[in-house]
Structure 1
């Protein structure tokens, strides 16, 4: 029995291949080619033939500095096999567009799974930012409670000091009967 795409492509495997480059979450051409089970040069060829489908917010080539950082990170000459072309980085929209230029059932199924995973990640980030805002609100409320408690305790201290002063015998004012 053949494994389904969902079984072969785990969330952990895909999230491990999502990088943060130029303030965007991207996947690299060689990682995508591996998932699609095509050669990286075939993927790049299809993209270059369909460049109009890949504006800068969908796909960009890494510059020399970014390539060097990748080399250091992976400890090889390049990520994947050496290519005379720069490494291509695909945003979520670029990954979605790849299914239209790679005409295989696997490419479509892999894209569906990758988009689902990107959506889960975005949802988790939104949940964590909501949670972070809730925690901030609670901290602010607790900070206000601390200030209010300080005021209450200072009033209690004043009351205790004034009640200690009241315990000294006072001279009575008013009518005093003579008892002799």
Structure 2
């Protein structure tokens, strides 16, 4: 996911693909991501870039799950320090530094966040369907963070098949 965020911010897919392969993570990426990694920098579409930019919200939730990020509030944007929490591709960092920092949160704490994000997502969908707008919460942000949290508590489920119905 970190590699995909780098691509969203103009890293060449070929460089990210090489880094993912070096990390022995290629078997974990989705079909959508494989398609991106096979493209040249100029062939990645604006729609694909936008989709990849949303990954930052999921990544923010995942670094919270791993205990690297303790500032995970629903009404605050992704912190500027996220880049320091993930391996740096330019420096060819691997995941050993990330693994050394992790202290995965307990299931109860994660599940409470899943429940909160489900309820917020439901509330925002309901508000949208009834022509109301919430000024402090963004439905896309809540949905992407929820997706990551749901993925964590749904072992074996593929990323693209996470159920986000409300």
Q: What's the TM-score once normalised by structure 2's chain length?
A: 0.25
Higher share of residues assigned strand: 1
